[in-house]
Amino acid sequence: DAKTTQPPSMDCAEGRAANLPCNHSTISGNEYVYWYRQIHSQGPQYIIHGLKNNETNEMASLIITEDRKSSTLILPHATLRDTAVYYCIVRVTAAGNKLTFGGGTRVLVKP
């Protein structure tokens, strides 16, 4: 699976959009981008994934650049409950089964 690079930490204001970047410059054509988050003392939680097109669900939006070398997870209206570590993971689906977590981005939502 391709390596990902994320900033170690970032702050954002409650009620504002939080934009979390991820670089995956060595991503190959059949690798998906997955985002998970882990709230303190809980297990990781799936957020969203995508291959090429931008994706949106009830939790977040995922914007993948045209060259697929980077992506951004957008939390449209951050709340205090969004404070967590966010992990960007690149993996081939249907081949290999583990998720390879990096260090993630520690996001602190401030009132």
Binding site for other proteins (CB under 8 A): 32, 34, 41-46, 49, 85, 87, 91, 93-94, 97-104
d(CA 58, CA 83): 17
* Residue number with CB closer to other proteins (75 or 86): 86
Shortest reach from residue 49's CB to other proteins, in Å? 6
- Among residues 9, 67, 11, 2, the alpha carbon closest in space to that of 33 is found at 2
Q: Are strands 105-110 and 9-13 parallel, antiparallel or unpaired?
A: parallel
Shortest reach from residue 42's CB to other proteins, in Å? 6
* Residue number with CB closer to other proteins (34 or 62): 34
d(CA 111, CA 12): 9
Shortest reach from residue 37's CB to other proteins, in Å? 11
